[in-house]
Structure 1
Amino acid sequence: MQFGIAFPASPAARDDVAAAEALGFSHAWLDDSQMLFSDPYISLALCAERTSTIRLGVGVTNPASRIAPSTANSIATVNKLAPGRTMLGIGTGNTARRTLGMPAARLSALEDHVRIVRALLAGETTEYTEGDRTRDIRFLSDGDRWIDLKTPIPTYIAGSGPKVLELAGRMADGVILFGTVDPDLIAMALKRVRIGAEQAGRDPDSLSIMCMTAFCLTEPGESLESARVRSMVGPFVSSCANIFALSTSDPAFFPDHLRRDILAFRDIFVTPDGPVRSRHLELYGGYAVALRDDVAPLVTERMIRATTLTGTSSEIAASVAAMEEAGIDMVAIRPVIDHRETMETFSREIIRG
C-alpha cells in the first residue's frame, strides 16, 4: 500500500508537500477548483522546486475548466520540473462546476478530453473539435525546452458513479475513488472499473486504484460523532457522500447497509426556492474545509466509518489492510483542520507504525 496526501491547491502547499515527503508520503494531489482554491499547476510547480521524490498530481481537473490542449500543456510543464513524478487526475468536475452554479461535465466531454490529452502527451497528432470545426493538432515545438513529453505521465480518471467508473476502466492508467473505505463501497466501484476494462480488452489488475479519504485518530473513549471528529472528517464525508448520491439515478447501485445514509446527502447542496443565479454562492461557502450545522446530523458514525479512516490506530490499520485486500493500491488522506499535525500523526501511527 502506498500513502499519499491531498490538499487544496495553494502556494503554501509547497511547504506541506515538502513535509509530506519527509514524513514518508509517496504522492501528493492538489485540487483544481477555481472558485475555491489557487491554481493547481502553479502550486505544483512550487512543490516541484521544494521536493525530489514525492509524486505530484492534479486531483482532479475537469473538461470544462480548460480546453484539453491547455491541460496537456500545463501538466507537461510540471513534468519538465519533476520528470517521472507527475500525474494527472481528471473527472467531471463536481466541485469546480457546482461552485459556478453549473452541472458537472458530461461523460462524452470527459472521454474526449482524456483522449486528446493522452494523445498529446504521447507526442501524437490527434483530432480536436470546437463547434463545427475539427482540426488535427499536436505540440509543434521540439518539446525539450518547453515541456517534457518523453517521460510518461499517468492519467487517472476520478469517478463515483457507474458510467464514469466504467470509462476509467476503458481508458485510464489509474482510478481515483472518493471515500471508498467500506469493503462494499470498494466492491461496488471496482466491479464497474472491471466491466469497463474488460470491454476494452484490458487487464483490470493493471490499473492503479487510489482512494482519497479523510483521517482522524480518536482519543480514548471518544465517540466518532464528537464535535472534534466531525470537524476533522465531516467536510469530506458530506462532499463525497453528496457526490455519491448525485452520481447515479439508480439507488440499487449503493450497498444495502449504506443506501439510505448516502441518499440522505442528495439534497444538501440544493435550495430549490433560492435564486437560480446566485444560490450556489451561499451553498458552497467553506466547501470541503468546513461542515455546515444543518449537515452535521447526516455525518453519522456509520458514514464516518464507511468513507474515512477514523478510529484508534489498530482500527485504522485494520481498515487499511482490508482496503488493500479489496484492491486499493494507494490511500491519500485529506487533512482539514491542521495539515502538519494530521500528516505527522498519520505517518507515526500508520505509515511507520
Structure 2
Amino acid sequence: MSVRTPVDPSDPRKPLPEIGYYALSRHPVNPGELVDEAALADRAGFGTAFVSERFNVKDAAVLCGAIAAATRRIGVATAATNHNTRHPIITATMGATLAELSGNRFALGLGRGIDAQWQILDVPPVTGAQLADVAEVLRTLWRGEMIVGHDGPIGSFPLLNLGVSVTPVPVMLITMSRRTLELAGRIADGVVLHTVFSDEATRRAVEIVRTAAERAGRDPASVRIWSVLATIPDGLGDAERLRRLYGRLATYLQGYPDVLMKANDWAAADLEHLRATDAFVGARGPIDATATDDEIRQLHEAIPQAWVADSATGSAAQCAATIAHQFDLGVDSVILHGAAPSELLDVLAAYRSIRPELPDLPVNPGLSAAYARVSIGDTR
C-alpha cells in the first residue's frame, strides 16, 4: 500500500503530516476558492485538508475530489460526513473513488450529525450501532467481498457489492461524546475531536480513546487522534477574529449545546445567559454566517473567556506555541480551524521553528505511526 508521496529533499517546505486545516472554513462559503486554497496548502506543507459538510454548497464528495485533483502531497478527509444520507453502496463508491483518485491519500470521517436536522429532513438519526455496522460493511465492500442479505442497524439490503477491490480506506469517527469516543477506540482507524475543547477535555478524550482501544485488544497507538484547534491569529482584524471565534462557538451551541457543554464541563447558567441575548434569540440561521458585527460583539461579551482560553490566538509565535502544546495533551495531529491556509502561513512558519520531535506519520490522515503493525480496519 502506498501511503507516502515522494518529496524533493531540496524542498524548503517539506510536508508537516501532523498539521491539517479545514477547507472553506469561513462562512458564507465560496467553493470557487477551494482549488487555489488547496494548492497553496499543498505547497506550504500542510499535512491534510479536512472537509466538513453543510447541506448547501459544501458537498463533501465534490469538495474532496477537487482537493485530491488539485494537490499531490497532502491527505484529504471528510470531517465529517454522515452515512445516513447515502446508500451504503454510494458511500463505498465515494470512498473507493477518492482513494483511487488521490493515490490512497483519502480517509472517510463519519459523524453523528445533528438530531434536529435529521428530524427536519425526515432521516433516521445516527446511532453508535449504525456507525459500527456501516464501518464493517464499507470495509467488507472495499475488500471486494459481496454481502448477501445484510440485516443490521443501518438497514436491510439483499445484495451489496462493488465488483472491485481497492486498498481499504481508513475510517475515522468525528466525535466529542464519551460513548462515541469509546466506540472509536474499539473500531476506528482515526478520531477527530472538536473545536473549542479545553485542554482538560482534550486530555480526557485521548484517554477514553486509548483505554477503549486497549480493552478491545488493539494497540492504543494504532488510533490516530486529531485535535481541532481554533487558530485565529491577530492579522485577521478585530471583527473577523471575533466572528471566527465567538460567532463559530455560538453556532455550535445552536446545534448541539448539551454534548459540547458536557465535554468541557461548562456551567449551564453561562449557556442560559448566552441564549438570552438578542443576538442568539434573533439568529437568522447559522450565527457565524448571518450575524452582524454588532451581534457578534454582543456574543463576545456574553461568552465566558474561559470557554475560548485554550484556543490559538495572538501573534504567529503565540499561535504556534499553542499548536505545539497540543501534543503534550496526547494527540497525534492538529487541525488548525478558523482560518484559510493563506492566513496561516506565518503561523506555520513559526510552528516549524519550534516543531516538537514527533513520530513519523503517514500522509493519509486516518493512518497512525503504528499503522505498519496493524491492518486498516483490524479491530481484533
Query: TM-score normalised by the shorter chain: which range applies?
Result: 0.7 to 0.9
* Aligned counterpart, 1:316: 319
Separation in 2 of the partners of 1:17 and 1:95? 31
1:137 aligns with 2:157: no
1:330 aligns with 2:333: yes
1:296-320 per-position Cα deviation (integer Å, ceiling 9, x unaligned): 33444322223x2113334333322
AA in 2 matched with 1:18: A
Separation in 1 of the partners of 2:272 and 2:23? 23
Separation in 2 of the partners of 1:19 and 1:90? 26
C-alpha RMSD of matched pairs (Å)? 3.7
Q: Which has the higher helix share?
A: 2
The Cα shift of 1:238 comes to 2.9
Count how many residue pairs are aligned between Structure 1 and Structure 2. Answer: 325
The Cα shift of 1:227 comes to 4.0
AA in 2 matched with 1:196: A
1:178 aligns with 2:179: no
Separation in 1 of the partners of 2:74 and 2:46? 7
1:260 aligns with 2:267: yes
Q: 1:254 to 1:348 in 2, by over 3 A?
A: closer
AA in 2 matched with 1:119: T
Higher relative contact order (CA 8 A, sep 6+): 2
Q: 1:327 to 1:124 in 2, by over 3 A?
A: farther
Q: Please say if residues 247 and 299 of structure 2, whose CA atoms lie closer than 8 Å, have aligned partners that are also in contact.
A: no
Separation in 2 of the partners of 1:331 and 1:288? 28
Q: Where does the alignment leave 5 or more consecutive residues of structure 2 unmatched? A: 1-16, 355-380
Q: What is the TM-score normalised by the length of structure 1? A: 0.78
* Aligned counterpart, 1:348: 349
AA in 1 matched with 2:75: R
1:91-118 per-position Cα deviation (integer Å, ceiling 9, x unaligned): 0013993695778522222222222222
AA in 2 matched with 1:80: E
Secondary structure class of the residue paired with 2:158: strand
Q: Please say if residues 191 and 224 of structure 2, whose CA atoms lie closer than 8 Å, have aligned partners that are also in contact.
A: yes
Q: What fraction of aligned residue pairs are identical, expressed as a percent?
A: 21
Q: 1:283 to 1:121 in 2, by over 3 A?
A: same
Q: Please say if residues 224 and 332 of structure 2, whose CA atoms lie closer than 8 Å, have aligned partners that are also in contact.
A: yes
Of the candidates 208, 224, 234, which is equivalent to residue 218 of structure 1? 234
Residues 5-14 or 198-207, more deviating = 5-14
Q: 1:87 to 1:326 in 2, by over 3 A?
A: same
Separation in 2 of the partners of 1:194 and 1:157? 14
Separation in 2 of the partners of 1:265 and 1:333? 29
1:22-171 matched pairs, under 5 angstroms: 22-35=43-56, 37-94=57-114, 97=117, 100=120, 105-126=126-147, 127=150, 133-139=156-162, 141=163, 143=164, 149-171=165-187
1:181-223 per-position Cα deviation (integer Å, ceiling 9, x unaligned): 532111221232134213322122211011223212237xx9x
AA in 2 matched with 1:113: V
Secondary structure class of the residue paired with 1:12: helix
The Cα shift of 1:237 comes to 2.7
Secondary structure class of the residue paired with 1:111: helix
